[in-house]
Amino acid sequence: MILTVTLNTALDITYRVRELRPHTSHRVTEVTERPGGKGLNVARVLAALGHQVTATGFAGGATGRTLKEQLTRTHGLVDALVPVAGATRRTIAVVDQSTGDTTQLNEPGPVITPAEWSAFLQAYDDLVRSAAAVALCGSLPPGVPVGAYAHLVRTARAAGVPVLLDTSGEPLRRGVAARPDIVKPNADELAELTGSHEPLQATRDARRRGAHTVVASLGAEGLLAVNTEGRWRAAPPRRLTGNPTGAGDSAVAGLLSGLVDHLPWPARLARAAALSAATVLAPAAGEFDRRTYEELLDQVAVTGEVTAA
């Protein structure tokens, strides 16, 4: 079982409009509604790949009930979300069909009480013991300690369970210091963490801060991975246009899938890059175009060298 943690779950709503223009009314051509938050996106992709997944985090209010109801439709996914009094947030993605660009609006999330946080920690302690790997993903809702991910990383490591961290800002800075097995920042998050805008230098600096492996998402340039075994770059053969929301989450799913399948790092990165690219063609985050994924899997170019990083 792979455990995903989404402390700030969301109900993702995607609107498609012919052309997005400020200060005007728009007629929406298509609406999709899905369970969201980075960890739930990861969980749904993993389930689609055939893995058994348990999703935990928080859910509350009418939005939370809708989210949980929709999760029941995902085969292979077990809902272990902890109930809270506040309402789960919504995220709104507006896709401009004329350009393919997406505008994202993210609500802050419910305020988590100390009692609710304690209840989550107990649930997490119980779940992590039977996990093959753990993904800690996304932002922290109000009320959750800024060092939350550092605590969860240490708990997983104490249980001997590999842990991947995908967050940003101060939660990332503190989480990295707890020595996660993998961190997966994008270019901006990596630069904020290290102060360097040169990807290779920044990934090396992030490793010195505590991460065993750093996998950086570089947008259309693909993925860069650095660890003690070496360094590699993986990129799809062509750039796909569509909705990029959730592409990074699919990359996380690919990395975790490759980890539990005991793939070597180049094959893990190829899987992650192919999934990330195939997500751009899907209608919403947490999904991917399977035909495109299978085509790209053998076409992703992975270059690098086995050397001390």
Indicate which residues carry an active-site annotation: 249
| 121 φ/ψ angles, rounded to the nearest 5 degrees | -60, -40
Residue 252 pairs with which residues in a beta bridge? none
How many residues in the chain? 309
Q: What three-state secondary structure class fits 59? A: strand
* ∠ Cα 185 279 227 (to 5°): 30
3-state secondary structure of 52: coil
- How far is Cα 211 from Cα 309, in angstroms, rounded to an integer? 12
Look up residue 186 and give its DSSP letter.
Answer: B
- Partners of 231 in the β-ladder: 226, 305
186 Cβ partners below 8 Å, 6+ apart?
216, 217, 218, 219, 248
